[in-house]
Amino acid sequence: MKRLELLSPLALCCAALLVSCDDEPTQPVLSDLEEVPLSASQPGEFWDIAFAGTVGIAVGGTVSGVAPNQTFAPLLASMEPNGSWAPDSILSLPASGLLTAVMLTPSGEPIIAGVDFSPETGFILDGRSAGGRVDVALGGVAFSSSAGTLRLAGAAATTEQVLISTAPDVWTPETVPYPTGQNERALVDLSASAGIWAACGFDDSGDGTPASPNSVLFLDQGLGWQRISAPCGGCSNREFRTVSVAPTGAVLLGGAATNFAGGANEYTASLALRSVSGDWVEVVLPKPTELKRVNDILLTGNGLVYMACGIGGTSYLVRWQESIVRDGTLQSARINRLAESPDGTIWAVGAVLDSHGAVLRPAIWKRLS
């Protein structure tokens, strides 16, 4: 089975940030998405974005040099009062590494996860206190919060792939019930609502049977993490990339159906809905072979669903209201994460790519209303 290119936050970020600085930029073709001004001169990429009140923060990394002698540095940008974005030094960042996830408390305090390359370790910058940095044995890729409880999910050498926090600077590991094995496995997304937590990822130690699937979904409904059976059974031909819990308790699971038989490299975008009762429904997406993969799901405050889709050099913003429609297309660009600001604006972060698919510059887009 061909595996996700995301084997760990470190591997994901390094692979995606391999760039050729000799290529001229290829401007994205925009439709309902507008790139906002950003004063960043180095090649790089944003991985996450979050808002609270008038505060907006995007995190990622920059790269310099030529492979295999590249160096990586954390990138943090904040939104200016005029709506533009600029690199910010509100927190003390490590000299090398990447920032991979961010969330903001209701009062606007940033909590940021990342990986430090010297020494190689995961860390959390907890803005709820003056303590600063907490080193952790986890490369975090997704935050979520519910009723004052925070969680961070990602990749670790063990099955302790979730950290839980109810107080500043205190992050306690939680075990996720993977089948026993030694191969690559990681969580790639996390969501919470209505007292339900959901996390999805992959498990290469699975044997591809329903009892030991290769793509995994876990729920915590107050009794600890439990693995949930998905419609794809052993899921050896599926990639789970994103999960979102609705206020009703329903769960949306996005990713792709894959076909690598005989050297094929085919992706078909997939979206499944799990009801509160546990029943699954496959949602029909428009032209799923063109969308290729659902990479992020955003549930807005007014009940709409937005999805970031695509693989390679084309990304799509898809909107689900009464029907599912393409809301925007970006050529030579990659969308990694979506977010909604308090005024209802939809934002996307990622990177502009060159004609070969290499990263040229970090990018932030907003949906035109």
- The full set of domain ranges for the chain reads 9-367
Give the helix/strand (H/E) hosting 101: strand 98-104
Structure confidence at residue 129 (pLDDT): 85
Q: Are 112 and 76 in contact (CB under 8 A)?
A: yes
CA–CA separation, 351 and 14 (whole Å): 14
Q: Are 244 and 252 in contact (CB under 8 A)?
A: yes
CA–CA separation, 250 and 297 (whole Å): 13
Structure confidence at residue 84 (pLDDT): 87
- DSSP-derived secondary structure for 195-248: TEEEEEEEETTS-SBTTB-SEEEEEESSS-EEE---TTTT-TTEEEEEEEE-TT
Q: Does domain 9-367 have CATH number 3.30.9.90?
A: no
Structure confidence at residue 62 (pLDDT): 92
147: which DSSP letter? T
Residue ranges of the alpha helices (H) in the chain? 9-16, 288-291
Q: Which residue has the tokens 């972060």?
A: 349
Neighbours of 245 (CB within 10 A): 23
CA–CA separation, 181 and 203 (whole Å): 9
| Intervals of the chain under pLDDT 70 | 1-31, 40-41, 131, 180-182
Residue 206 is which amino acid? Answer: G
Compute the C-alpha angle 314/294/181, nearest 5°.
Answer: 120
Structure confidence at residue 26 (pLDDT): 41
CA–CA separation, 309 and 322 (whole Å): 19
Structure confidence at residue 29 (pLDDT): 45
Structure confidence at residue 261 (pLDDT): 85
The CA dihedral of 285, 289, 295, 299, to the nearest 10 degrees, is -10
CA–CA separation, 137 and 125 (whole Å): 14
Q: Is the pTM of this model over 0.75?
A: yes
Structure confidence at residue 18 (pLDDT): 33
What's CA 43's distance to the chain center, in Å? Answer: 20
pLDDT tens per residue across span 238-247: 999 999 999 9
